[in-house]
Amino acid sequence: MQWEQLTAPDFARAVIGTKVCVVAFGVLERHAEHLPLGTDYLNGHRLACLAAEQEPAVVFPPFFYGQIYEARCFPGTVTLKPTLLLELILGVLDEIGRNGFEKIILLNAHGGNDYLLPFLAQSMLWEKKTYSLYFYDGYREASSSPEWQAIIETPLHGHACECETSISLANHPHLVKMENVTGPGESLGRLDALPGNISAVSWYANYPQHYAGDARSASAEKGRRLQQLQVDALARFIKAVKADQVVAALEQEFFEREAILRQRNQPD
């Protein structure tokens, strides 16, 4: 169920019926020269919608605010000041909770959010919420499976690659310009002298054209098969979240202990 497509009465019934909302986090950024700027949020939202058809949940409208500072040098990128970005996302999550959802799943559809979204999940212990937050990074689960490996032909993946291009061909072929594909996009290794280091320019140092992989062998048929693996994995996660009672119970326990400690330390 897509949030923006429901009437108000249908929405109220959907909240009662599922209690779960899925938010796919993508961005607007360069994807080599052959994929659209909205690739991450377009594919992420589509994945969430397909999984929610399989395991009912409400999917938040397409969301394209995330961590993408490394692409600010390219046209079409949209970024926000870091503090504003955090406030915006936290405000959106609170609004989802205010609308009655007890569980919110953050679906990561963009590699640049790998640190942002886990931090948001951890920040839920700053103050008690009316909802529990679950961070899902299922792309890695699906992409490490033998079924996934049997479909792909190229060894290097990461951005605008065979996988991402194939899924884009399956979802929105009219937006993909295969005639612009070059390959492969290999790491330049310009910070290899600093092993274990993470800098603001780490991604840019390796992939200054925002192309990691080889999209020449991409196809819509591969994309449909790869996407189905992702859909099945996410649907399983949604089902598990629905059944989960442990996270909320542990959060309650945590905040009760925190309240006792705070009260104990109050001056007389």
Render pLDDT for 217-268 as a digit per residue (tens, 0 to 9).
999 999 999 999 999 999 999 999 999 999 999 999 999 999 998 888 787 6
pLDDT band at 142 (very low <50, low <70, confident <90, very high): confident
Is the pLDDT at 143 greater than 90? The verdict is no
Instruction: Work out the average pLDDT over 14-27.
Output: 97
CA distances from 23 to 169, 186, 251, 268 (A): 23, 31, 21, 45
* Whether residue 12 has pLDDT greater than 70: yes
Share of residues in the chain with pLDDT > 90 (%)? 92
Tell me the C-alpha distance between 174 and 135, whole Å.
31
Residue 1 pLDDT greater than 80, yes or no: yes
Distance between CA atoms of 46 and 168, rounded to whole angstroms? Answer: 10
**Model confidence pLDDT, tens digit, residues 85-123:** 999 999 999 999 999 999 999 999 999 999 999 999 999
Mean pLDDT of 63-86: 96
Query: Which two three-digit tokens encode residue 229?
Result: 């693996």
Amino acid at 260: I
Tell whether the model's pLDDT for residue 211 goes beyond 90: yes
Q: CA dist 116 to 15, 68, 112, 124, Å?
A: 27, 10, 8, 13
Listed residue (45, 73, 47) closest to 60, CA to CA: 45
Q: Is the pLDDT of residue 64 over 90?
A: yes
Is residue 129 predicted with pLDDT exceeding 90?
yes
Q: What share of the chain has pLDDT > 70, as a percent? A: 99
- CATH no. of 3-153+227-264: 3.40.50.10310
What letter represents residue 122's amino acid?
Q
Q: How confident is the model at residue 84 (pLDDT cuts 50, 70, 90)?
A: very high
The reported pTM is: 0.94
The edge-to-edge listing of strands for the beta sheet with 20-25 is 58-59, 20-25, 103-108, 132-136
pLDDT band at 179 (very low <50, low <70, confident <90, very high): very high
Residue 268 confidence (pLDDT): 65
pLDDT at 117: 95
Rounded CA separation 153/151 (Å): 7
Query: Alpha-carbon distance 254 to 250, whole Å?
Result: 6
pLDDT at position 226: 96
159-173 pLDDT tens trace: 999 999 999 999 999
Averaged pLDDT for residues 195-206: 94
